[in-house]
Chains A and B, each alone.
Chain A
Amino acid sequence: MNEARRPHPLVDATGPNLIESIFPYDLPPLIHLDSPAVEYIDGKPVEFDLPSVMGRDIYITDTTFRDGQQARPPYTIDQMVHIYDLLARIGGPRGVIRQTEFFLYTKNDRETLDRCRALGHEYPECTGWIRAVKGDFRLVKEAGLKESGMLTSCSDYHIFQKLKFPSRRACMDSYCEVVDAALEAGVRPRCHLEDVTRADIDGFVLPLVDRLMEMSRNVPESLTAKIRLCDTMGFGISYPGGRLPRSIPKLIYKLNHECGVPSNRLEWHGHNDFHKVHVNGATAWLYGCDFLNTTLFGFGERTGNPPLESAVFEYIALKGDLCGIDTAAITELADYMRSIGLPIPDNYPFVGKNFNTTSAGIHAGGLRQDERIYNIFDTTKLLGHPPRVAITDKTGVDGVAHWINEFFGLKGDDRISKIKCAKLARWVIDQYEVHGRLTAISDEELEAKTRELMPEYWEKYRGK
């Protein structure tokens, strides 16, 4: 057995240290960064000032109406306008949700854009999305948009296998012709480097970006090319020491420092094929992308995109402040999306029906004593969603008591003790042990039984 290298004397206490400097509860747990990260790039140590993200202007962008819509039946115009309105509310007056993007090809696309803009919100700014075809910039101009995304797929899988270019040079030239057309039309090109985490970074991506930067040298700042790093298949990795083309830190470093792309012209766009989508997006923020492209509730191509609401909470955690964000509007938007058929799983973080519902009796007991024990933050305040208890065979008396008190809306000393809930708890347990029930007990059933078995409390708190 190894000897201990450093002794750790017990720090005794007779009261709890709830580490409220990190877990304030009225905000999500704060992310404190107090040291740089070092990556070895081309054999040399490079220091990344991660704590600087707390003071940097970082933003969320949205592609719910584009990537998000590719994965589902189309939204109606009314639906998109309502969603856009709520996005503006979530992002708040500082425009934390800075941009969203729209297709521009059909009459409906155009009407959607016009009606969204008619709402008069400064943010999210409306941008377009077009194919890398010169003529399409006409659509952007006609729509009165200042910026548009365009596909500049950059892996050989795309260049040769999909787009059938004869060479990388032919591909690059073709993209740059379209960028030229954008600049001539007075539209800011946002070049989407599709499949970048499977591309030849030194052999194609950096030369392409160099050329885009060169083309941007003689245009006003408002027209300079932006770069969206598209982790199309979810291959990106955040791990220290990871290699290109998958390493997100190294990729951003190369674009920032070798190509000179400033952070405020870099955007990350990911997919969730390997369950890494949120962390990869946050990593991009930390390592120098100012913009993180997301969709509502992660809906998007195949396994989906960085969830917008996760990015919102990550933003608050990094900044240590709500920054004008209306988090309650996230719940409102989730309820709306469910009402129009978007299937949000019950256990989905932040917005699933049961994201903070506990089934275990021992957890319910903890909730009764101090909600913070088993609730991630003040979800009542931030999401309008108090922690709940699912009533099953495992819930126990504590769970039933918690349910009762939430049902009657009782707080503090007004809360009913579990002794008074004994009859209802017995009824619940008998459903399983005596009657062989296999399903959870619904709120409606429990409500009816509460009225029957706790009539004095029903009368007191609900009237006759």
Chain B
Amino acid sequence: MATVEERIKAVAARVLNVDPAEIKREHYFSVDLGAESVQSVELVAGFEEEFGIEMDEEAALSVETVGGAVEFITQVCKRQGVPIEE
């Protein structure tokens, strides 16, 4: 199984049309990766679909960086009993 970080980068690459190899943990989705308003929502939707989880809309949309998403989604998966590779 790919790690949480790898899976997040794969979703981000697809939604934002960027090379996953170029994505770094410290990157901001909007500033560095160019995510616009609807893309931020698509990212969260993509993460939910990828991991099979439900995220609180406000909390999920307030995550700004790739690294922040890794931490946030890891916590959500653990809370919701979804197996992951960290």
Q: Do A and B come from one complex?
A: yes
- List residues of A whose CB falls within 8 A of some B CB: 361, 396-397, 417-423, 425-426, 429
- Which of A396, A417, A420 is within 8 Å of B38, CB to CB? A396
CB contacts (< 8 Å) of B62 on chain A: these are none
Among B38, B48, B55, B60, residue most surrounded by chain A Cβ atoms (within 10 Å): B38
B55–A426 CB distance below 8 A:
no
Alpha-carbon gap, A114 to B41, bound state (A): 63
B57–A422 CB distance below 8 A:
no
A420–B37 CB distance below 8 A:
no
A-B CB proximity, top 3 nearest: A422-B45, A417-B57, A397-B41
Q: Which residue of B lies closest to A400 (CB)?
A: B38
Q: Closest CB-CB distance, B37 to chain A, in whole Å?
A: 6
Determine if B42 is an interface residue (Cβ-Cβ < 8 Å). Answer: yes
Q: Identify which of residues 1-50 in chain B touch chain A, using a CB-to-CB cut-off of 8 Å.
A: 37-38, 41-42, 44-45, 48
Apart from the given pairs A418-B41, A419-B44, A423-B45, 11 other A-B contacts in the complex at a CB distance below 8 Å: A397-B37, A397-B41, A417-B57, A418-B57, A419-B48, A419-B55, A419-B60, A422-B38, A422-B42, A426-B38, A426-B42
A425–B38 CB distance below 8 A:
yes
CB contacts (< 8 Å) of B60 on chain A: these are 419
Alpha-carbon gap, A425 to B44, bound state (A): 13
Alpha-carbon gap, A397 to B39, bound state (A): 10
Q: Which residue of B lies closest to A397 (CB)?
A: B41
Alpha-carbon gap, A421 to B41, bound state (A): 9
Alpha-carbon gap, A337 to B28, bound state (A): 55
B41–A419 CB distance below 8 A:
yes
CB contacts (< 8 Å) of A422 on chain B: these are 38, 41-42, 44-45
CB contacts (< 8 Å) of B38 on chain A: these are 396-397, 422, 425-426, 429
CB contacts (< 8 Å) of A423 on chain B: these are 45
Among B45, B55, B57, B60, residue most surrounded by chain A Cβ atoms (within 10 Å): B45
Alpha-carbon gap, A153 to B4, bound state (A): 84
Between A and B, 29 residue pairs with Cβ closer than 8 Å are A361-B37, A396-B37, A396-B38, A397-B37, A397-B38, A397-B41, A417-B57, A418-B41, A418-B57, A419-B41, A419-B44, A419-B45, A419-B48, A419-B55, A419-B57, A419-B60, A420-B45, A421-B41, A422-B38, A422-B41, A422-B42, A422-B44, A422-B45, A423-B45, A425-B38, A425-B41, A426-B38, A426-B42, A429-B38
CB contacts (< 8 Å) of A397 on chain B: these are 37-38, 41
Alpha-carbon gap, A361 to B55, bound state (A): 23
Q: Closest CB-CB distance, A370 to chain B, in whole Å?
A: 14
Alpha-carbon gap, A423 to B46, bound state (A): 10
Q: Closest CB-CB distance, A419 to chain B, in whole Å?
A: 5
Q: Which residue of A lies closest to B47 (CB)?
A: A419
CB contacts (< 8 Å) of A426 on chain B: these are 38, 42
Q: Which residue of B lies closest to A421 (CB)?
A: B41
Q: Closest CB-CB distance, A5 to chain B, in whole Å?
A: 43
Among A422, A423, A426, A429, residue most surrounded by chain B Cβ atoms (within 10 Å): A422
Q: Which residue of B lies closest to A423 (CB)?
A: B45
Q: Which residue of A lies closest to B46 (CB)?
A: A422
Q: Closest CB-CB distance, B56 to chain A, in whole Å?
A: 8
Q: Closest CB-CB distance, B49 to chain A, in whole Å?
A: 10
CB contacts (< 8 Å) of A420 on chain B: these are 45
Alpha-carbon gap, A419 to B55, bound state (A): 9
Q: Closest CB-CB distance, A460 to chain B, in whole Å?
A: 16
Among A417, A418, A423, A425, residue most surrounded by chain B Cβ atoms (within 10 Å): A417
Q: Closest CB-CB distance, B59 to chain A, in whole Å?
A: 11
CB contacts (< 8 Å) of A361 on chain B: these are 37
Q: Closest CB-CB distance, A282 to chain B, in whole Å?
A: 42
Alpha-carbon gap, A426 to B38, bound state (A): 7
Q: Closest CB-CB distance, A12 to chain B, in whole Å?
A: 24
CB contacts (< 8 Å) of A417 on chain B: these are 57
Q: Closest CB-CB distance, B40 to chain A, in whole Å?
A: 8
Among A361, A419, A422, residue most surrounded by chain B Cβ atoms (within 10 Å): A419
Q: Closest CB-CB distance, B3 to chain A, in whole Å?
A: 23
Among B41, B42, B45, B60, residue most surrounded by chain A Cβ atoms (within 10 Å): B41
CB contacts (< 8 Å) of B55 on chain A: these are 419
Alpha-carbon gap, A421 to B57, bound state (A): 12
CB contacts (< 8 Å) of A421 on chain B: these are 41
Alpha-carbon gap, A397 to B61, bound state (A): 12
CB contacts (< 8 Å) of A425 on chain B: these are 38, 41
Alpha-carbon gap, A421 to B40, bound state (A): 12
CB contacts (< 8 Å) of B45 on chain A: these are 419-420, 422-423
Alpha-carbon gap, A354 to B65, bound state (A): 39
Alpha-carbon gap, A325 to B2, bound state (A): 66
Alpha-carbon gap, A425 to B41, bound state (A): 9
Q: Which residue of B lies closest to A416 (CB)?
A: B57
Q: Which residue of B lies closest to A361 (CB)?
A: B37
Alpha-carbon gap, A423 to B60, bound state (A): 17
Alpha-carbon gap, A126 to B57, bound state (A): 58
CB contacts (< 8 Å) of B48 on chain A: these are 419
